Amino acid sequence: MIKTIEELHEMLKNGEVTSDELVKDSLKKAHNVQDKCNAFVTILDDAHGSEVTDDILSGIPYGIKDNYSTKGILSTGSSNTLKDYVPFFTATAVSNLEKHNVVPIGKTAMDEFGMGGTGTTAHTGNILNPWDTKRMAGGSSSGSAASVAAGVYPFALGSDTGDSIRKPAAFCGIVGYKPTYGMISRYGLFPFASSLDHCGCLTRSVKDAAIVVDAMKGIDKNDLTSWDSSDIHLYDSLDGKVKGKKLFYIKEIVNLENYPDASLELKEHLNNFYHTLDYLKEEGVEVDEVSIDKNLINTIFSVYECLSCAEATSNMSNLTGIIFGPRGEGKNINEMMKDHRTKGFSSLIKRRFVIGSYILQKENQERYFVNAQRVRRLIVDKMNELFKTYDGLIMPVSTGPAPYIDGSKDEITKDNTTNLEEHLQIGNFGGFPSITIPNGFVNDLPVGINITGKCYDDANVLNIAFALECKMPYKNQVAPQFKEGENA
Amino acid sequence: MRKYKAVIGLEMHCEVKSNSKVFSSARNSYNDTPNANIRPIDLAFPGTLPTLNIECIRKALLMSLILNCKVPEYMYFDRKNYYYPDLPKGYQITQMHDPVGVNGHITIDVDDYSKDVLIHDIHLEEDSASLDHYSTISLIDYNRAGVPLLELVTEPCLSSSKEAVAFLEYMRRVYQYADISEADTKKGQIRCDVNVSIMDEDSTELGTKVEIKNVNSFANVASAIDYEIKRQSELKDAGRYDEVEQETRRFDEESGTTIRMRGKVDAIDYKYYVEPNIPKFKIDSAWLEKIKKDIPVLPRERKQHYMDDLGLSEYDANIIIKEKDYADYFEKCVSLGMNPKVAANYLTVQIIAYLNKEGITLKDFYLIPEYLLEITTELDKETISSKQAKEIFNKSLEEKKEPKNYLSENKQISNEVELAEIINKILENNQEQIEEYKNGKTNLFQYFVGQVMKETKGKANPNMVRDILNSKLN
């Protein structure tokens, strides 16, 4: 049932539908999406409805990215190193949600341990975009984005270290929100790069994202980086009043002049971005073009690569196949660990481990790791300086719609578009609240726009996104071939 | 073999006493059942995160202050990355960049001289799991994984195994005195790494440093140092000092020698970097002041006080400060008004012997200072004999009853009038013996004493009995 959470709650309350019916419908769609998009690692066929209360989330089905630890439910992180791992404890974000009587339908496939942006590195195979299955869903929260975009349920959990919620959301035409760092506990989230990792959600509307994160968030004694957000009520704060708000975009990334050889797709995407800004202006929002030192902008991807690979190398040192995961073969423990890791990880991850190890080596640490940390600080300081004037940064997501999986038919822009593809990482550097919403189509495929604000200012960021969403016709959209009644 | 100057540095790891582990909520207690004190993080299950035990931080800061170290403004931790089966996370959370204390010093006594030992740093970290190796398998016990550990690193400022052991012995006591650790070597709560190099007596240039890892008893520390000095000196004598390599060795208890583990080129790069899951926090100065107040009077100061102010011998003082329990017991006795020498005597002779015999600690000793005082007070007043005191001491321990219960039945008769009456009666009934005594059979004096004792069931004050008999008979 392609409805918002509010609508579903209403229907559940007045008996138009039961939680059991919703769950059955959701499971059926999950299997359909699995057939077409390979979005799941696990579908929980035994799932059944739960008690419907006054809680807006009660009785509603949802999906969980497979890097959330779920007690008694296979949790692989889409990696062979954990292919049979069934945890005995549940991630705080999930157990917080469980208090609201939500019903998990499945564990969604992802780029292995979140370390990719394509959805092509899961141990269960490529995850495909429901709008066009020859295209990527984006990653790493690929299965979550694909299943929400295909209308399996109103929301799924994601995680975001670089843009892993916000990019697949754009590619799948839905909403992706990662709140301020520490608003949602990371306890039970398989780590990629701890200082950049965020929990969050994928939904089809800003309001749904607010409802879901309200339920996921909260200070957690098991996560020292979590903080008390009990006075923040995201859902209740959405009033759509944005007159007088100020946003900026970064000229060095967005301006078409940066891309003299831009493909038609890219041009269309950027023009669409400017067009979207007009909606905000109509609502009384001031949008300014801001110039930032190009040298600083150019560092974003390298800084991300250095920090994320370095932290990942260390974070994943627990994957040895000794305590959990398939035991490797070998004459001694070192050989066993080596065998486990050689067989278990995809080549992309191994590449990142090599980079991470190199960066952390004593003789390289100052040059790469420490400098990356310094530049991260410079970028965050620059943003915080701008956030004194502005309510948020508004930017187009990536260079356009989702690329083809085999890359063959992509329109190639000869200019370097790295900054356009990677700028969402700014949100992870600063732990800033950041939300992507769909803002139209290029070549009949969805594209997205992102708003990022200052830490703890989630309600404001969501409210601006909400106001913008209301101006556009993309709320609660579903990939055409998965629309109601069109299921194969 | 020529005599060279030895330069020794120590790394002393000491397990900290706390309810839960340092970065895990699992219990921190010595447990015979393997893998009983564990939480998901102790096995590094995916998604687990460290917590922080503030009590461990407090104790680390306390030790830092005791060692006169500089305390950093901010507290944070680092990851030390390496693969080993006893390290489930693949990294140890420790402190490298900004330890809880740096540049400290502490004075110790070595035989007849004292020495200021320079402290490079002290840092808080987590222990690894423990491994038991068998012929075909190895077993891992994660009870120890995550147990708080304080690692103290001295400057290379010690010059002999004697100084090294004196330092370790002293530090062990300090840990106990400050209630930071049980510091029980038998439970493996203290482990040491030792750095040894030698140089010519007149030289100022340091020699090649050799590290000996994981030495588990103080006796082995001494053996390892002595062996290493001998090995290096012999090579130097033979003109082969270049064979002394900067390397890591281990001590082999069976042969009493050190064995090469790895050289400098194989040194592990631990890829230290700041632990991202424990946010940096400012050490509150008010808190630090409060911790300062918890610094106990250290054993060396106590010893000085016992000798200078309480008149104890150095021998007795040394025994008493050996354990904090002893010193506390002794000081309690003195504070109750007991004569220090009497208290020291009881403690160093009877009490310690009893503890050793029973295999218990002073904590489980029934005769608390207040009870002991009941005995010594009467002894002072001479209402009981030292023999009786001993009997009461033993009986009280045996029956776990306060000494005063035995005092009434054992109380000496020291009342002169009462004694004179008893003696008069005995003399009246022994006229014949008086005659014989007066006629020169002086050994009959003992007979009269015996009669009095018999009459009083041994409770008569023997000195007074003698005095009264003397006055009546002579």
Q: Which residue, among A187, A190, A455, would best test binding to B if mutated, counting the most B CBs under 10 Å from its CB?
A: A187
Task: Decide if A193 contacts A169 (C-beta within 8 A).
Answer: no
Does residue B285 share a domain with residue B220?
yes
Interface of B with A (CB under 8 A): 40, 43-52, 79, 81, 83, 85, 88-91, 138, 269, 271, 273, 276-279
> Can you give the pLDDT at residue A468?
98
Of A186, A190, A317, the CB nearest to B90: A317
Does residue B302 share a domain with residue B258?
no
Rounded to whole angstroms, the Cα distance separating B418 from A114 reads 97
- Give me the number of domains chain B comprises: 3
Which residues in chain A are closer than 8 Å to B278, comparing Cβ atoms?
Answer: 224
Maximum Cα–Cα distance across chain B: 102
A164 is catalytic: yes
CA distance B72 to chain A (A): 21
Does residue B196 share a domain with residue B174?
yes
- B400 pLDDT exceeds 70? yes
Placement of tokens 């490797």 in the chain: A328
Give B152 or B363, the one with higher predicted confidence.
Answer: B152
Hey, what are B378's tokens? 């009467």
Are residues B45 and A87, on separate chains, in Cβ contact within 8 Å?
yes
Instruction: Select from B356, B384, B410 the last residue of a domain.
Output: B410
Length reported for chain B: 474
Are residues A89 and B44, on separate chains, in Cβ contact within 8 Å?
no
Q: Which residue, among B42, B277, B281, would best test binding to A if mutated, counting the most A CBs under 10 Å from its CB?
A: B277
Cis bond before residue B386 (omega within 30° of 0): no
Are residues A318 and B44, on separate chains, in Cβ contact within 8 Å?
yes
Q: Which domain holds residue B31?
A: 5-289
Does residue B223 share a domain with residue B313?
no
Are residues A224 and B48, on separate chains, in Cβ contact within 8 Å?
no
A65 is catalytic: yes
Are residues B277 and A194, on separate chains, in Cβ contact within 8 Å?
yes
Q: What does pLDDT average to over chain A?
A: 96
> Can you give the pLDDT at residue A1?
67
- A34 pLDDT exceeds 70? yes
Catalytic residue, from A78, A79, A95, A140: name it. Answer: A140
Give B266 or B361, the one with higher predicted confidence.
Answer: B361
> Can you give the pLDDT at residue A428?
98
Q: Measuring CA to CA, how many Å separate B372 from each of A66, A423, B16, B313, B342?
A: 68, 77, 33, 21, 11
Stretch B375-389: mean pLDDT: 83
Q: How confident is the model at residue B301 (pLDDT cuts 50, 70, 90)?
A: very high
Task: Transcribe A174-218 into DSSP letters.
Answer: SEEEE-STTSS--TTBPPS-TTT-EEEEEESSHHHHHHHHHHH--
Q: Which residues contact B342 (CB under 8 A, 6 or more apart)?
A: B376, B379, B380
Does residue B397 share a domain with residue B428?
no
User: For residue A108, which of A162, A52, A148 has the smallest C-alpha distance?
Assistant: A148
Catalytic residue, from A147, A164, A185, A205: name it. Answer: A164
CA distance A139 to chain B (A): 20
A308 is catalytic: no
Rounded to whole angstroms, the Cα distance separating B10 from B196 reads 9
Q: What does pLDDT average to over chain B?
A: 92
- A487 pLDDT exceeds 50? no
Hey, what are A469's tokens? 């969403």
Which residues in chain B are closer than 8 Å to A362, comparing Cβ atoms?
Answer: 269, 271
Give the nearest chain A residue to B83 (CA atoms).
A317
Q: Measuring CA to CA, how many Å separate A279 from each of A25, A282, A287, A370, A440?
A: 36, 5, 11, 42, 12
- A409 pLDDT exceeds 80? no
> Can you give the pLDDT at residue B437?
86
Q: How confident is the model at residue B30 (pLDDT cuts 50, 70, 90)?
A: confident
Cα A257 to the chain's mean position, in Å? Answer: 29
> Can you give the pLDDT at residue B456?
80
CA distance B51 to chain A (A): 6
> Can you give the pLDDT at residue A486?
45
Rounded to whole angstroms, the Cα distance separating A363 from A357 reads 11
User: For residue A120, which of A100, A98, A143, A97 has the smallest C-alpha distance?
Assistant: A143
Does residue B335 share a domain with residue B228?
no
Give A407 or B170, the one with higher predicted confidence.
Answer: B170
CATH (domain of B453): 1.10.10.410
Q: Measuring CA to CA, how many Å separate B114 from each of A131, B107, B170?
A: 81, 7, 12
Does residue B249 share a domain with residue B187?
yes
Angle between the N-to-C axes of helices A347-360 and A294-315, in degrees from 0 to 180, rounded to the nearest 10: 100
Where would I find the beta strands (DSSP E) of B188-227? 190-199, 210-215
Does residue B313 share a domain with residue B224?
no
> Can you give the pLDDT at residue B409?
66
Q: What percent of chain A has pLDDT over 90?
A: 95
- The one-character DSSP state at B63 is H
Angle between the N-to-C axes of helices B161-177 and B54-66, in degrees from 0 to 180, rounded to the nearest 10: 130
Are residues A225 and B88, on separate chains, in Cβ contact within 8 Å?
no
Backbone angles phi, psi at B15, to 5 degrees: -70, 135
Give the nearest chain A residue to B23 (CA atoms).
A222
Where would I find the beta strands (DSSP E) of A235-280? 246-250
- Which H or E run includes A122? none
> Can you give the pLDDT at residue A315?
97
Are residues A91 and B271, on separate chains, in Cβ contact within 8 Å?
no
Q: How confident is the model at residue A408 (pLDDT cuts 50, 70, 90)?
A: low
Does residue B250 share a domain with residue B106?
yes
Tell me if residue B23 falls in helix, strand or coil: coil
Determine contact: A360 vs chain B, CB below 8 A: yes
Does residue B403 share a domain with residue B347?
yes
Give the nearest chain B residue to A181 (CA atoms).
B277
Query: All domains of chain A, ordered by start, with CATH?
Result: 5-245+433-482 (3.90.1300.10)
Does residue B210 share a domain with residue B317?
no
Determine contact: A369 vs chain B, CB below 8 A: yes
What single-letter amino acid sits at B25? S
CA distance A154 to chain B (A): 26
CA distance A223 to chain B (A): 6
Are residues A194 and B81, on separate chains, in Cβ contact within 8 Å?
no
Rounded to whole angstroms, the Cα distance separating B47 from B277 reads 11
Instruction: Select from B289, B311, B331 the last residue of a domain.
Output: B289
Q: B197 forms bridges with which residues in the sheet?
A: B7
- A55 pLDDT exceeds 50? yes
Q: How confident is the model at residue B1 (pLDDT cuts 50, 70, 90)?
A: low
State pTM to two decimals: 0.90
Tell me if residue A449 falls in helix, strand or coil: strand
Interval B175-188: pLDDT, tens: 999 999 999 888 88
Rounded to whole angstroms, the Cα distance separating A38 from A167 reads 18
- A485 pLDDT exceeds 60? no
Instruction: Select from B365, B387, B410 the last residue of a domain.
Output: B410
What single-letter amino acid sits at B237? D
CA distance A189 to chain B (A): 5
End-to-end alpha-carbon separation of chain A, Å? 15
> Can you give the pLDDT at residue B92?
98
Interval A344-361: pLDDT, tens: 999 989 999 999 999 999
User: For residue A426, which of A71, A138, A163, A96 has the smallest C-alpha distance?
Assistant: A163
Which residues in chain A are closer than 8 Å to B39, comparing Cβ atoms?
Answer: none
Does residue B381 share a domain with residue B342?
yes
Which residues in chain A are closer than 8 Å to B269, comparing Cβ atoms?
Answer: 361-362
Task: Decide if A101 contacts B52 (C-beta within 8 A).
Answer: no
Interval A155-180: pLDDT, tens: 999 999 999 999 999 999 999 999 99
Hey, what are A334's tokens? 């070192």
- Which H or E run includes A171? helix A166-172
Stretch A15-24: mean pLDDT: 97
Task: Decide if B204 contacts B351 (C-beta within 8 A).
Answer: no
Q: Which residue, among A113, A115, A315, A338, would best test binding to B if mutated, counting the most B CBs under 10 Å from its CB?
A: A315
